Amino acid sequence: MLLPSLLRTVVPLVAGWIIVALTHLGFSLNSQTAQAAVTLAAAGAYYVVFRFVERVVEKLGGPAWVKGAAGALLGWAQPPRYKRTDDVVELLRQSRS
């Protein structure tokens, strides 16, 4: 279960960087700090948009291909599923597998 989580973290960050690098989003970024901030904002927006699409399609029963495409654009076609538990030792054990 770790791979889907990692991909769903890294892919939006890379996508945000690519979006900013290709478009500059209308900003003239002379500062590396400003560029990093805009990249993180773009990556965050990218994640939120496609995660929102996934949830809406899931809740409203929309076409499965739309949900799959949104998930694939996040790096993994399905959201990770976590088993609910209050047992911290069991959560740690699951995170290591």
Tell me whether residue 20 is exposed, middle or buried, using C-beta atoms within 10 angstroms of its C-beta: 0 to 12, 13 to 18, 19 or more: buried
Residue 24 has what pLDDT? Answer: 67
- Write out pLDDT tens, residues 29-50: 567 777 777 888 888 888 888 8
DSSP codes joined into one string, 18-74: HHHHHHGGG----SHHHHHHHHHHHHHHHHHHHHHHHHHHHHHT--HHHHHHHHHHT
What is the residue extent of each domain of the chain?
2-96
Regarding pTM above 0.85, the answer is no
Q: Which residues of the chain register pLDDT less than 50?
A: none
- Give 35's contacts (C-beta < 8 A, 6+ positions apart): 20, 29
Do the Cβ atoms of 7 and 34 come closer than 8 Å?
no
CA 87 to each of CA 13, 80, 83, 90, 94: distance values in angstroms, whole numbers, following the listed order: 32, 19, 11, 5, 11
